[in-house]
Amino acid sequence: MNDETLMERAVAAAKQAGAATWRNPQVGAVVVKNGHVLATGHTQPYGGSHAERDALSRLAPGQAAGATLYVTLEPCNHYGKQPPCTQLIINSGIRRVVVAQLDPHALVTGKGVANLRQHGIEVVTGVGAQQAAQVNPHYDFFYRHHRPWVTLKQALSLDGRVSAGPGQRTAITNQAVYRRVHQERAGFQGIVIGSTTAIVDDPTLLPSVQLAHLPIRIVLDRRGRLADYPDLRLFNDGLAPTWVFTENAALPDRLGPWARVLVLPDCSVPAVVQVLAEEGVQSLYVEGGPTIQNAFARAGLVEEVLTYLSPVMLGQEGVPGFAPPETWKFQDQQLELLGNNVRIAERERQDV
Amino acid sequence: MNDETLMERAVAAAKQAGAATWRNPQVGAVVVKNGHVLATGHTQPYGGSHAERDALSRLAPGQAAGATLYVTLEPCNHYGKQPPCTQLIINSGIRRVVVAQLDPHALVTGKGVANLRQHGIEVVTGVGAQQAAQVNPHYDFFYRHHRPWVTLKQALSLDGRVSAGPGQRTAITNQAVYRRVHQERAGFQGIVIGSTTAIVDDPTLLPSVQLAHLPIRIVLDRRGRLADYPDLRLFNDGLAPTWVFTENAALPDRLGPWARVLVLPDCSVPAVVQVLAEEGVQSLYVEGGPTIQNAFARAGLVEEVLTYLSPVMLGQEGVPGFAPPETWKFQDQQLELLGNNVRIAERERQDV
């Protein structure tokens, strides 16, 4: 087996890590000696072992001496929740490390590789980099751009409406979409809605997957309309954190102890995103409605659009969905039929 | 083989007939004797043999005596372009006729079956009726409702726009859609557009299939704006009939000899459809734009909506597509991926 094939196994291991790694990237590691795979590992749930430690922990002392380590992301070189993986690798006697992707995190980039080389370990980088980059798009984006990755998600009728009329809750998409959306939420660190959606739908915005770190439910309520709706489930179920952004200084006293209310002098989308970036929130799933989504689009803060389309037509009285300020085309489009609905995922906008 | 299985073969034969039958229904026939299929036939191009005659013409004189005939539509009992098939069947010595569907045509319904029975032939009806009904939806609809079947066809962006701005021609869908639409036109007897589409797109509206009877290109131009556009290809290419409906009595003198201009005192969609019904036009493919499609929807004259969706977003300045006056749901929805576009065909609206 060559380096590429073994890195594919490391990438597959990385994908096993799943959303439980939360703010840590999902990484895979494979230890190989004399053409045999000795151990495979991946990042453990947030606060637990990194992939390298997970793989090496499966070996007897000294067993890794002279081996090659395949790892999808550059080994960390600093103390975080865990001691640095570079030290562990050096101590293990590994002679060669093959890395797919350098860590985009400014604290780490290149330092891990440099430290290994200083200790006489041969390091190869860039093997399988493209496949590895697909595992952690949110993490990579966050550390490259210093703001959360934003996915707009909409449920849309064929005539481009999101509800049958203002203030109406309209079930548009089918059960398969319902299940997919609930799974999908687990892959984001924040779920964003506007106050109208909060009031009209009274949603819980929970994923279907049980996680130690659930996505933060974030409501944008510039004027503080939610002061009149303290009984919404978001403010009372205690099932996940709820943050409310507002310009209304009176709001914190009205919403009870479960909600964290952040009063900003300017509660525009860019200002909110700035605060969320500082809080370390790497990804946002913006569920609506169109007013909020249009604001993200106008601010140029959209990395992905996920549309769940149902071939119903809601008619002239329906509320139009989000539309960007100018024409948007995408290089990466994935279409998938879900029964009589369509899932359309679009990334990598190209300017036209 | 039982009656159902043999009727399936007749239905398959019917589908071979294709669009060349034009105003005649596509019918299939199978002659069976002593458990053996002696001959199969289908409707020939308009003006040619019906299915029964096509099948029986393949047999030697007297060979059909005592046989059973499977035919997807009730045999005709009147002189049209061809002598009645009932007489042919009686003369052939066939002893039993199995019919899928009675003819919806008021001139024929039940009379063919009655005549056969009067001549001592055993007739069974309704075998495979559901499959047979799918072969000629436009013909059946036309003779049941005395007006053309109407399909609205739209090319739509994901944000529900049909062009990037008023008066702009915008290519939205991909090459696979282009090919499908050109094939699809051959299955309709009229292609309808409004004057704006005629002026902005200067289309030819031809199908990709060569046919003796091409769909009539129909332009709705109430005010007579086309008087200023006599050079449009529709009025000069001579490749298919072009009919223009208007209230403007000056229009006929402005458009040259190729166009047939019909001046109506009231050029509303219901009035135009009424004239087309009297002209024997069984089906319309309404290609746009949204103003015309909205008028068909308001008039309650839509049997099918075909949407070709492309995941581009044309933005806030784009022209919104058709939307019905109230919520429309459909019982029959067919979704198909065409590369990165989606074809959505919807029929059988249910009132909600």
ipTM of the complex: 0.83
Exposure class string for A128-157: b at 16+ Cβ within 10 A, else e: beebbbebbbbbbbbbeeebbbbbbbbbbb
A314/chain B closest Cα distance in angstroms: 4
Residue B82's Cβ-count burial label (10 Å; 0-12, 13-18, 19+) is middle
The span from the CA of B136 to the CA of B144, in Å, is 12
**Is there a domain that residue B344 lies in?**
yes
Residue contact A313–B328, C-beta within 8 A: yes
pLDDT the model gives residue B232: 96
> CB distance from B176 to chain A under 8 Å?
no
> CB distance from A347 to chain B under 8 Å?
no
Q: Residue B243: give the domain boundaries.
A: 147-350
pLDDT the model gives residue A176: 97
What is the CA angle B8-B14-B20, rounded to 5? Answer: 165
**Is there a domain that residue B283 lies in?**
yes
> CB distance from A34 to chain B under 8 Å?
no
Residue contact B307–A307, C-beta within 8 A: no
Summary mean pLDDT of chain A: 94
**Is there a domain that residue B286 lies in?**
yes
- In total, chain A counts a number of residues equal to 352
- The single-letter code of the amino acid at A53 is R
- The single-letter code of the amino acid at B78 is H
pLDDT the model gives residue B288: 85
A158/chain B closest Cα distance in angstroms: 8
* Chain B residue nearest residue A297, CA to CA: B315
Summary mean pLDDT of chain B: 94
The span from the CA of B116 to the CA of B95, in Å, is 10
The answer for residues whose C-beta is within 8 angstroms of residue A79's C-beta and 6 or more apart is none
Collect all residues of chain A within an 8 Å Cβ-Cβ radius of residue B315.
323-328
pLDDT the model gives residue A164: 93
Two structure tokens written together for A260: 């964290």
- Contact A77/A112 with Cβ under 8 angstroms? yes
Confidence of residue B216 (pLDDT cuts 50, 70, 90): very high
One domain, residues A180 and A120? no
Confidence of residue B311 (pLDDT cuts 50, 70, 90): very high
pLDDT the model gives residue B351: 67
pLDDT the model gives residue B325: 93
**pLDDT, mean of residues B43-53:** 94
Residue contact A315–B327, C-beta within 8 A: yes
**Is there a domain that residue A77 lies in?**
yes
Collect all residues of chain A within an 8 Å Cβ-Cβ radius of residue B296.
none
Q: What is the 3-state secondary structure (H, E, C) of chain A?
A: CCHHHHHHHHHHHHHHHCHHHCCCCCCEEEEEECCEEEEEEECCCCCCCCHHHHHHCCCCCCCCCCCEEEEEECCCCCCCCCCCHHHHHHHHCCCEEEEEECCCCCCCCCHHHHHHHHCCCEEEECCCHHHHHCCCHHHHHHHHHCCCEEEEEEEEECCCEEECCCCCCCCCCCHHHHHHHHHHHCCCCEEEEEHHHHHHHCCCCCCCCCCCCCCEEEEECCCCHHHHCCCCHHHCCCCCCEEEEECCCCHHHHCCCCEEEEECCCCCHHHHHHHHHHCCCCEEEEEECHHHHHHHHHCCCCCEEEEEEECCECCCCCEECCCCCCCEEEEEEEEEEECCEEEEEEEEEECC
* CATH number of domain containing A239: 3.40.430.10
CA-derived radius of gyration, chain B: 23
One domain, residues A152 and A132? no
One domain, residues B292 and B342? yes
One domain, residues A123 and A241? no
The last residue of one of the domains, among B105, B136, B167, is B136
One domain, residues A86 and A46? yes
One domain, residues B251 and B312? yes
DSSP E strands in B213-303: the ranges are 216-220, 242-246, 259-263, 283-288
One domain, residues B221 and B328? yes
pTM: 0.89
> CB distance from B164 to chain A under 8 Å?
yes
- Contact A1/A23 with Cβ under 8 angstroms? no
Residue contact B164–A327, C-beta within 8 A: yes
B20/chain A closest Cα distance in angstroms: 32
Most B CBs within 10 A among A153, A172, A327, hence the mutation to make, goes to A327
One domain, residues B56 and B97? yes
The last residue of one of the domains, among A136, A167, A195, is A136
The answer for residues whose C-beta is within 8 angstroms of residue A62's C-beta and 6 or more apart is A93
Spatial CA neighbour of A120 closest among A170, A163, A155, A86: A86
**Is there a domain that residue A327 lies in?**
yes
Low-confidence ranges of chain A (pLDDT < 70): 351-352
One domain, residues B193 and B304? yes
One domain, residues A206 and A265? yes
The helix/strand/coil state of B295 is: helix
pLDDT the model gives residue A99: 97
CA distances from A94 to A8, A123, A200 (A): 20, 11, 58
- Contact A14/A27 with Cβ under 8 angstroms? yes
One domain, residues B296 and B172? yes
**Is there a domain that residue B245 lies in?**
yes
Please list the active-site residues of A: 52
β-pair type (A283-288, A259-263):
unpaired
**Helices A111-118 and A85-92, interaxial angle, to 10°?**
20
Q: How many CB pairs under 8 A join A and B?
A: 115
Report the percent of chain B where pLDDT is more than 90. 89
Longest dimension (CA), chain B: 72
**Is there a domain that residue B142 lies in?**
no
Confidence of residue B352 (pLDDT cuts 50, 70, 90): low
* CATH number of domain containing B56: 3.40.140.10
Confidence of residue B50 (pLDDT cuts 50, 70, 90): very high
The last residue of one of the domains, among A98, A113, A136, is A136
Spatial CA neighbour of A189 closest among A137, A134, A140, A148: A148
Helix H or strand E encompassing B206: none
pLDDT the model gives residue A128: 96
**Is there a domain that residue B49 lies in?**
yes
The span from the CA of A164 to the CA of A317, in Å, is 6
pLDDT the model gives residue A351: 67
Count of the separate structural domains present in chain A: 2
One domain, residues B218 and B336? yes
pLDDT the model gives residue B107: 72
Helix H or strand E encompassing B134: none
CA distances from A269 to A193, A204, A294, A301, B305 (A): 12, 22, 10, 9, 38
Helix locations, chain B, DSSP H: 3-17, 51-56, 85-92, 111-118, 129-133, 137-145, 175-185, 195-201, 269-278, 290-298
